[in-house]
Amino acid sequence: MKDKVCSDFVFMPLKGDQRVPPMATGGVPVAAAGGAAVVETDSTEVKSKIVVVGDCECGKTTLIHRYVKSKFQETYTPTGFDTYSGSYNVSDTYTIHMSIWDTSGDTGYDRVRPLSYSDADLVIICFSISNPESMENVVSKWHPEVREHCPTQPIMLVGCKADIRSEVKNLPPSTPRPNLVSYDQGLKTAKHIGALVYSETSAKTSQRSVNDVMEVAALSSAGTSGTGAAPAAANASAGEGANSFGRQRSFIRRKRFSGLSDAKAQLRKEAAKSCVVM
């Protein structure tokens, strides 16, 4: 049945740290982590695993904290491996439960970090706009590592600490300017590695930029493990809804975007065509 209010499709940013419940609303267990799971209720719920990688101190953990907790992390704390959970409501009848894996960029973890890639639905590679070397490492280290363990999963490239550019502009004329990564350089790198989306964020000054990245990541990751692949565990209408969702989102894995506004506009357009009541 077609949704009578397709125009109400909205992108709602996550507020707070919402943990994924072990059981769905109707008392039906959710499938194992890493696989897309359809729940047999009047609404559909999908599980998605997103892995975040990049150099040490490039802004990975701050990005995740800003999204999950809506707070900016002032002090740098080295990360080993942490996992965060959040729910993203695509519509009143469709929810994506994200498992966000934060990894360490330290070389000491090079042998164990690959364990994080298991069952990943999407990988976000981060670099710091204030550190050109971290962007170079995207090509020389992170992209090869990701493709070795996730050969087909979509990748997003995110430049963190975009607020640094504004700070540099406000420096006195006599102050030496640091070497920063330009937007065009970041975009060129994203195209070189075949990234799905390139975006720049500032966890310090822009909650919206962080929300935009995670919203598109959630939508792009849903279905990459075969959304609707477990229809036996769901009723016929829920299975059809899951397949429809996968079809709606498949285009984003075929087209690269230089900015999130284009991606979100396309997602809204696709949703308006075929949003479905589960």
> What are the boundaries of each domain within the chain?
6-274
User: Is 102 a residue whose pLDDT tops 60?
Assistant: yes
* Per-chain mean pLDDT for the chain: 74
Provide the pLDDT for residue 266: 61
Task: Look at residue 86 in the predicted model and tell me its pLDDT.
Answer: 85
| pLDDT per residue as tens digits for the range 19-44 | 344 434 344 444 444 454 444 456 78
Task: State how far the Cα of 215 lies from the Cα of 221, in Å rounded to an integer.
Answer: 10
Amino acid at 145: E
**Residue 277, pLDDT score:** 32
Separation between Cα atoms, residue 57 and residue 137, nearest integer Å: 13
Q: How confident is the model over 234-246, as pLDDT tens digits?
A: 333 334 444 444 4
Are 112 and 143 in contact, with CB atoms under 8 Å apart?
Answer: no
Higher pLDDT, 132 or 79: 132
- pLDDT for 70 beyond 60: yes
Residues whose CB is less than 8 angstroms from the CB of residue 176 and which lie 6 or more positions away in sequence, other chains included:
none
State if pTM tops 0.85: no
Indicate if the pLDDT at residue 8 is higher than 50: no
**Amino acid letter for position 234:** A
- CATH number assigned to the domain covering 6-274: 3.40.50.300
**What is the per-residue DSSP string for 44-102?**
EEEEEEEEEEESTTSSHHHHHHHHHHS----S----SEEEEEEEEEEETTEEEEEEEEE
Question: DSSP class of residue 139?
Answer: I
